């Protein structure tokens, strides 16, 4: 799964990197510990224009009576996108990219009650392009006054280095796939599904970090600093399930 990630790039930088023509007017604060239900940057197609906007993390389906449904839909398994009712409509028409400057995962260590958090990022420190879906929830009222744009991150089986920590990882799209993935007129589900594969092993590197990342109130860049596993476990902290 993917339950925490880093968002440190500005919307302008993301727009430039992903070839977007428009970017969100209001800039989100840099956050090195983005948690579910936060607002996150999303790259999506809007009327033929590629944009960077801020969406709620936790997809809220059209049929939801309460937006809290999205709390359980921060991730979507690639294997069931085409069949699961909550994700099927978005998979066909509303796909996006969730940029991330790295993400965290927790590993269970033998003889330890706490899990060891790891920071996973690209060796070149460029952003990951997580495959995502988005939706617009209009609320229970029929007048359309309440609207919420939300997103979910698609996961797949872990590649070889990630499998040492967890059995799942976010789908990372290569630049060659961005056009096809973001095109709302592309409804070739079979071809799109072929993009949802584990990232090449060469695309990720990782190191252990402090258990301070388990506390969502901690959001600073120090969370990504490498630390010896023994020292990490001695620090304590809230911990988090991976």
Higher pLDDT, 42 or 241: 42
Question: Could you confirm whether 2 is annotated as catalytic?
Answer: yes
For 144-177, write each residue's pLDDT tens digit.
Answer: 566 899 999 999 999 999 999 999 999 999 999 9
Calculate Rg over the CA atoms of the chain: 18
User: Is 74 part of any domain?
Assistant: yes
For residue 184, count other CB atoms closer than 10 A to its CB: 14
Range of the domain at 207: 5-235
The pLDDT assigned to 139 comes to 75
User: Is 29 part of any domain?
Assistant: yes
2, 26, 29, 234: the catalytic one is 2
Question: Could you confirm whether 105 is annotated as catalytic?
Answer: yes
The pLDDT assigned to 47 comes to 84
User: Is 176 part of any domain?
Assistant: yes
pLDDT above 70 as % of the chain: 90
User: Is 241 part of any domain?
Assistant: no
For 189-227, write each residue's pLDDT tens digit.
Answer: 999 999 999 999 999 999 999 999 999 999 999 999 999
Q: Measure the CA–CA gap between 119 and 162, rounded to whole angstroms.
A: 11
For residue 195, count other CB atoms closer than 10 A to its CB: 19
User: Is 60 part of any domain?
Assistant: yes
Q: Say if residue 167 is exposed, middle or buried (CB neighbours under 10 Å; 0-12, 13-18, 19+).
A: exposed
User: Is 240 part of any domain?
Assistant: no
For 23-66, write each residue's pLDDT tens digit.
Answer: 776 689 999 999 999 999 999 998 889 999 999 999 999 899 99
For the ranges 78-92, 102-116, 122-136, the lowest mean pLDDT is seen at: 102-116
Residue 227 token pair: 């630390």
User: Is 35 part of any domain?
Assistant: yes
105, 141, 230, 234: the catalytic one is 105
Distance of CA 143 to the CA centre of its chain: 31
The pLDDT assigned to 235 comes to 44
How many domains does the chain divide into? 1
Using pLDDT thresholds of 50, 70 and 90, give the confidence band for residue 236. very low
Q: Measure the CA–CA gap between 175 and 178, rounded to whole angstroms.
A: 5
CATH code (residue 197) = 3.90.1680.10
Record the pTM.
0.92
The pLDDT assigned to 231 comes to 61
């Amino acid at each position: 799964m993917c339950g925490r990630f880093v968002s440190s790039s500005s919307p302008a930088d993301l727009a430039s990197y992903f070839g977007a023509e428009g970017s969100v007017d209001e800039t989100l604060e840099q956050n090195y510990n983005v948690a579910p239900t936060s607002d996150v940057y999303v790259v999506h197609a809007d009327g033929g224009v590629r944009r960077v906007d801020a969406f709620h993390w936790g997809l809220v389906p059209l049929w939801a009576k309460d937006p809290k449904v999205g709390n359980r839909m921060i991730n979507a398994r690639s294997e069931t996108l085409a069949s699961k009712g909550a994700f099927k409509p978005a998979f066909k028409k509303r796909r996006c990219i969730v940029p991330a400057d790295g993400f965290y995962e927790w590993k269970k260590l033998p003889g330890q009650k706490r899990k060891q958090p790891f920071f996973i990022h690209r060796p070149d420190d460029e952003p990951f392009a997580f495959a995502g879906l988005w939706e617009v929830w209009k609320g229970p009222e029929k007048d359309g006054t309440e609207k919420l744009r939300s997103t979910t991150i698609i996961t797949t089986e872990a590649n070889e280095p990630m499998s040492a920590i967890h059995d799942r990882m976010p789908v990372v799209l290569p630049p060659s796939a961005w056009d096809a993935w973001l095109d709302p007129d592309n409804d070739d589900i079979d071809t799109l599904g072929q993009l949802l594969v584990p990232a090449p092993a060469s695309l990720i590197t990782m190191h252990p970090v402090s258990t301070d990342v388990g506390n969502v109130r901690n959001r600073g860049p120090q969370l990504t600093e490498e630390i010896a596993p023994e020292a990490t476990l001695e620090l304590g902290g809230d911990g988090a399930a991976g």
